[in-house]
A = this chain, B = another copy of it.
Amino acid sequence: MVQSLKIEIERSTAKKEKPPQDQLGFGIHFTDHMFIIDYAEDKGWHQPRIVPYQPIVLDPAAKVFHYGQTIFEGLKAYRTENGRILLFRPRKNIQRLNRSNERLSVPQLEEGIALDALQQLITVDEDWIPTEPGTSLYIRPFVIATQPALGVSPSTHYQFIIIMSPVGAYYTEGVNPVKIFVESEYVRAVTGGVGEAKTAGNYAAGLKAQEGAKDKGYSQVLWLDGVHRKYIEEVGSMNVFFKINGTVHTPALNGSILAGITRDSIIQLLKHWNIPVEERIISIEELYEAGKNGSLEEAFGTGTAAVISPIGELNWRAEKLVIRDGQTGELSRKLYETLTGIQTGTIPDPFDWMVEVR
């Protein structure tokens, strides 16, 4: 039973200097330690260890460099006012990691060992969890294929690694609405592809469109489906929601959309509040129509990094659609405050989402 494996801990002798909490940025600074566990076809997952944060040393023929077998996750730990450490729905991340693993032909990771690794690593580096409002400890578990061989086939060897970074707000604009460019040329993913998996290739595929949007003065792109080029999928690396005539709509999970954990939490919160919410196919034409006839009340992206990111303007084929005069909507604000409140322990958690470390 993998769950009973003991994690060896090698403590760092020289502690790094911690950056000021108002200059954290996102994913730039890393804590003193990292978790590693190896996989070999004949041994399974073995030798779990916490070691000082250090470089990864790989043969140049390691499959991750050539054939992209790599999966990642992202979640956050929060320090509450009374000093507790809370994780937001970590099992969901491990379960999604395993679904991504399945799609990319990577062996499954036992949920217990991954959760144990998360908890022990956070405990070792707990003085890295920032305390200022909006800050948190971002946790990045990832798997890489390490077999040094150029044949195109699943790797026989892997590493599962966890690194952690104290972070400020993801978007420098904060919770202010962002401007989004509706992408018509490039496609992020298609049904039958790997859009549902949290794998590197999906992000590489999106960079060029993202750069194009930035050049035009937009924060992110809104992705349309790869087949009809008209149904809304995601916005940047977030899921997306629209409040139309009092009902909240979000694209249904169709195989090419990432099953966001924040997305799932928002849906549960809305149902809890008796606000109607529908997961369905939404076309960009329909959205523009709702925007023009005044029934589009709010739009926002959801994700671990930003939590809620209100959308103030869309641009589709050079036609601009300003949403709510570019101001943050009431529901967006309430969702942001409630979810971050639950995450940081200032608001009760009726869903039993938070997992306390230790």
Contacts and interface: CB of A to CB of B under 8 A. Distances in A.
Interface of A: 25-28, 30, 34, 53-62, 64-70, 72, 103-105, 138, 140, 142, 144, 148-154, 161, 163, 165, 185-194, 199-208, 210-211, 226-227, 229, 236-237
A189 to B, nearest CB: 8
Given A138-B150, A207-B69, A30 B61 contact: yes
Contact of A103 (B60, B208, B237): B208
Contacts of A227: 190, 226-227
Task: Identify the interface centre among A30, A190, A210: most chain B CB within 10 Å of its CB.
Answer: A190
A255 B32 CA distance: 45
B68 A199 contact: yes
Nearest to A30: B61
Given A66-B72, A187-B190, A199-B201, A105 B207 contact: yes
A163 B206 CA distance: 28
Task: Identify the interface centre among A161, A194, A205: most chain B CB within 10 Å of its CB.
Answer: A205
Contacts of A186: 192-193
A210 B105 CA distance: 10
Q: Which 7 A-B pairs have the closest CB atoms?
A: A201-B201, A27-B150, A68-B200, A187-B192, A68-B204, A67-B203, A190-B190
A195 to B, nearest CB: 10
Given A105-B211, A192-B226, A70 B72 contact: no
Contacts of A64: 64-65, 200
Given A61-B163, A144-B65, A150-B27, A194 B200 contact: no
A144 B53 CA distance: 21
A59 B27 CA distance: 12
A193 B226 contact: yes
Contacts of A140: 61, 66, 150
A223 to B, nearest CB: 10
A162 B253 CA distance: 41
A5 to B, nearest CB: 21
Nearest to A161: B60
7 contacts: A26-B150, A27-B150, A34-B60, A65-B144, A66-B72, A103-B208, A104-B204
Contact of A152 (B28, B30, B191, B237): B237
